[in-house]
Structure 1
Amino acid sequence: MNGVEERENELRHSSQQHPHEQYYYSTYGFTVVSHIPLPELIPIGACEQPDIEIVAGNVDQTLLNGRQVNRWLQMSEDQCQMWIEGIANYRVENGKRIVIDRRVKEPRASAASPSDVRVYLLGSALGVLAYQRGWLPLHINAVQAPSGALWAFTGPSGAGKSTLGAWLHTRLGWPQITDDVAVIKPEDQVPLLHAGPRKIKLWKETMEALQIDMEGAQRDLSRVDKFHITAPNNHEAPILAPLKHLVILERGATGSQPSLTEVFGDEAVVMLLDTLYRAEFGREFMAPETIVQMCERLAAKLHIYRFARPWGFDEMAENLTPILKKAKLS
């Protein structure tokens, strides 16, 4: 057996523990010590009591005292176990620890690439961990306006939140804070937005239209023409500022004029609830009424809007006029 075959065999049948290697990072407002390198995160100096530990180890087939939610997910009172076929198995424990098991069952199966393993670690697994700690992960793209105010965009899949944020960043120079997920800690007096990994997900046609270099782009695991790219300021300290504006994107009729309408009260709370990242995870670790109360308090501190516009990349500058006018006043 040559060296390459030996390494592949190790990936298939071992849990890849590296107990003597430790890497320290910051993300989502956490400090992290990891036994595997996480190049998407911002490195920090060694700290004595990091918030989270990430280790490579064995994840059992059945979660102790857990229940089967679906074929890939098990939940218990303080743990979550995810089995992502062909990628890895993850166990998230007590809001403090994540175990990754990369073993594969079939002798001839190929181990997933480390970058694919990190996609679920830095997304779903850390999202679960945020809920276990009583925090709110939001599914948003956020940028910083020239006034300093943070604007976040959300909406159904395909609504264009990443495209809109990328346009504001590349065309107007608004700093990109996060794309996909960021965390709000309810204990903060003001709703500071704690950014996740500095990666942006864009359709190929959007990258071409914005003349974004595709070198090093990673194809999305579920969509052929969507790619993950690293933000230019990936290893800079993230901007930590209060979230002030949350915009829910909606499709306007073809030929209609764009409209930005602020919403209040119960409607604003419902829209904020719809912004939560994988809210089904949150309901496993917090009572639904607790989540609603947290969103009520947060909604009272934000300006929440509906933004309807014709979808598509053409006439983007004209379609964003209501937001650009409001941003000058904020």
Structure 2
Amino acid sequence: MHQERAVAGASFNAETRRNEVDSHLASLPYHYATYGLVVSSQLELPELPAASPPPDSDVSIVEAPLAETLDIPHVQEGWLQYAEDCCQFGLEGGTRFKIERGRHIKIDRSRRSRHSGDARDREMRLYLMGTALGALLHQRHWLPLHLSALNTPSGVWGFTGPSGAGKSTLAAWLHYHRGWPLVSDDVGVVKPGETLPYLYPGPHRIKLCKDALTYLELDGPELIRDMTRGAKYQIVQHCGFQTIALPLRYLVVLERNDKDNQVEFYPLHGLEAFQAIMAAIYRPECAWIFSGPGHLLDCATDLARKISVYRYRRPWSLPSMEQGLAPLLERIQHEASHDG
């Protein structure tokens, strides 16, 4: 199944979309824009910005009954069942998702507990916005990256790193203290084959831990608990997000240094830059399945040539955030002056 598929990122052309249109798309009541796609949905999705009803949607989201397993020859690998152009996974509470051809998402909530309520609905949407849409992007052979990104005076900077590295907190701090617009939080997507590596923003939400929310004075009743990560909360439909794709110019790998409190900020080149991009791919298991190793490695290599990559190791302290950010802010200002 992990075979190479030499498919260009823009292969879903207008004619292909016309040929695949389902007759029920026109009747879907809700329309949204995310990741450069127009989504028509049977379900209301408050996490996504609304779009005008299109003549032809890129993606449909509907509720439909789903079998326990795919009804075609498939592979079961951990939590995921997959075949050549579709996959399926389920949640512990009984909700099941099926993603097909980079175009359709079906959701089956018929097995849910009668006592599920709003909390289960929020959990369903979290997985829809995350894993399900991530799998759909990989089926299109695009490159979703696990990052937070802002539009700074020197262009778009993305911040990636392992869980707990502070991607969202750093982006939120820069947004609120510097006034720089957010581009994406958690996931943004690059479409291979474009001359410039545009970063297409995902859902307009930002995920922050309780301490960061309190420090930024964002603690309020409008926060939504992240059911997938109990220590985090979401601010949905945040007004500080860009609505259009912008070229990604810089990617910073964040690391915490709680031992000697030293700050290190330095560029990565060649193999190290390539490895940083590979490590930033969202849901990499889906990338290997649907894009294949050859296409995936080519995409990461091409992106490493087009952007500047840095490693940023610093102590983790909200009160001393500005002091720790000094080398990053200096580099952003330097690049802005150079551009000017």
Map of 2:73 onto structure 1: 65
Q: Which runs of 5+ in 1 are unaligned?
A: 1-16
Counterpart position of 1:189: 195
The one-letter code of the counterpart of 2:202 is G
- 1:87 is displaced (CA, Å) by 5.4
Mapping 1:2-151, distance limit 5 Å: 20-63=27-70, 64-70=72-78, 72-86=79-93, 88-104=95-111, 108=114, 110=116, 113-147=120-154, 149-151=155-157
> 2:257 aligns to what?
252
Does the 8 A contact of 2:274 with 2:300 survive in 1? yes
SS at match of 1:49: coil
| Aligned with 1:206 (options 202, 212, 236) | 212
Counterpart for residue 159 of structure 1: 165
Match of 2:13 in 1: none
SS of aligned partner of 2:126: helix
Q: In the alignment, which of 276, 284, 292 is matched to residue 287 of structure 1?
A: 292
Q: How far does residue 105 in structure 1 lie from its aligned partner after superposition?
A: 6.2
Aligned letter for 2:251? L
Give the aligned partner of residue 277 of structure 1. 282
Q: Whole-Å Cα distance in 1 between the matches of residues 30 and 102 of structure 2?
A: 19
Q: Structure 1 residues 89, 168: closer, same or farther in 2, change over 3 A?
A: same
Question: Could you state the TM-score of these two structures normalised by the residue count of structure 1?
Answer: 0.89
Q: CA deviation at 1:59?
A: 1.2
Amino acid in the other structure paired with 2:304: A
Give distance in 1, aligned partners of 2:265 and 2:252.
Answer: 9
Aligned-pair CA distance for 1:176: 1.2
* TM-score, normalising length: structure 2: 0.86
Alpha-carbon distance in 1 for matches of 2:62, 2:272: 42
CA distances 1:298-325 after superposition (whole Å, capped 9, x unpaired): 1100100000111221311111111101
Query: Is the contact made by 2:186 and 2:206 (CA closer than 8 Å) also made in structure 1?
Result: yes
Matched AA of 1:245: Y
Match of residue 10 from structure 2 = none
Q: In 1, distance between residues paired with 2:230 and 2:281? A: 26
> Aligned equivalents of 2:257 and 2:28: distance in 1?
52
Counterpart for residue 176 of structure 1:
182
Quote the Cα distance in structure 2 between the aligned partners of 1:227 and 1:329. Answer: 34
Q: Give the deviation of 1:255 after TM superposition.
A: 4.2
Partner of residue 5, structure 1: none
How many Å apart are 1:218 and its aligned residue?
Answer: 1.0
299, 308, 311: which one pairs with 2:304? Answer: 299
Q: 1:309 and 2:314 equivalent? A: yes
Q: Contact 1:245–1:302 (CA<8 Å) still a contact in 2?
A: yes
Measured in 1, the distance between the counterparts of 2:297 and 2:116 equals 43
CA distance in 1, matches of 2:185, 2:51: 21
Q: Percent identity at matched positions? A: 40
**One-letter amino acid of the counterpart of residue 261, structure 2:** S
> Following the alignment from structure 2 to structure 1, what is the Cα–Cα distance between the partners of residues 54 and 157?
32
Q: Is the 8 A contact 2:41 2:60 kept in 1?
A: yes
C-alpha distance in 2 between matches for 1:222 and 1:182 = 19
Aligned amino acid, residue 257 of structure 2 = G
RMSD: 2.0
Paired residue secondary structure (1:31) = strand
The alignment covers a number of residue pairs equal to 310
- Structure number with the bigger relative contact order (C-alpha 8 A, sep ≥ 6) is 2
Partner SS state of residue 305, structure 1: strand
